[in-house]
Homo-oligomer: A and B are copies of this chain.
């Protein structure tokens, strides 16, 4: 069952020709490769529009290499590996075509460098120290085919920096606002623009920042509308969601 067949089947679902249950049942006949330690979901790209992403943090170098190998056999490209340790990256680079970014510890295997980038996502950050999270978000969005503008170190304690870039902000389709410490950036941006704002709290700070909880709570309580929040330091999640929103089709 190749991708075209899947699309035809889903089309039948949307037209009511077959039920979702029947479709689900078909998809389940061969949906994953079981490696023992992991079940690779080859159809995720089909269901959700993006290939499976490997969260590198809890996995050994061997497991990561194994999963990548199997995915490559299945013809995947633009394979994202987040939280990839430098040592694992070094080993992995011997086995495949890996682009590695050390600051966000972010790897891309078989990157499709020709992929067209569309729309407009802005990644804004409160300070230099938030850069790793920002880059995880920005790279994720770029790999998924989005145009990304970086706007770093524009925290609210130096408001004029942010205001001088108002044009960039107001022309974005989606904004990812990354901040540690008091986490006020998304609220201020949210009050200035009319596009969705994805707030990413970071663990940057010390003492009463409680490992990012202070920024997280601040963002959840934002008095600006149009702001939603992802987990602390979750640059990948923000980039992924921003891509979904940015690439939405217009209402017919």
Contact = CB atoms under 8 A, between A and B. Distances in A.
Contact of A241 (B32, B214, B228): B228
Nearest to A67: B128
Interface in A197-252: 198, 201, 203-234, 236-238, 240-241, 244-251
Contacts of A156: 156, 184, 187-188, 191, 223-224
A152 B156 CA distance: 20
A157 B222 contact: yes
Most buried by B among A19, A48, A210: A48
A53 to B, nearest CB: 7
A123 interface: no
A21 B23 CA distance: 13
Interface stretch (A1-9, A38-46, A88-96, A105-113): A38-46
Interface in A30-84: 31-32, 36-39, 41, 44, 47-50, 53, 55, 57-59, 63
B233 A207 contact: yes
Given A20-B166, A216-B220, A41 B240 contact: no
Contacts of A198: 228
Contact of A48 (B24, B152, B225, B248): B225
A69 to B, nearest CB: 15
A161 B208 contact: no
A247 B248 CA distance: 10
Interface residues of A, number: 112
A154 interface: yes
A244 B155 contact: no
Contacts of A246: 251
B223 A181 contact: yes
Given A39-B154, A161-B41, A210 B217 contact: yes
Interface of A: 13-14, 19-21, 24-25, 27-28, 31-32, 36-39, 41, 44, 47-50, 53, 55, 57-59, 63, 118-119, 126-129, 131, 152-161, 163-164, 166-167, 170-171, 173, 180-184, 187-188, 190-196, 198, 201, 203-234, 236-238, 240-241, 244-251
Return the 7 tightest CB-CB contacts between A and B, nearest first.
A58-B129, A250-B250, A207-B232, A184-B184, A157-B191, A228-B228, A214-B217
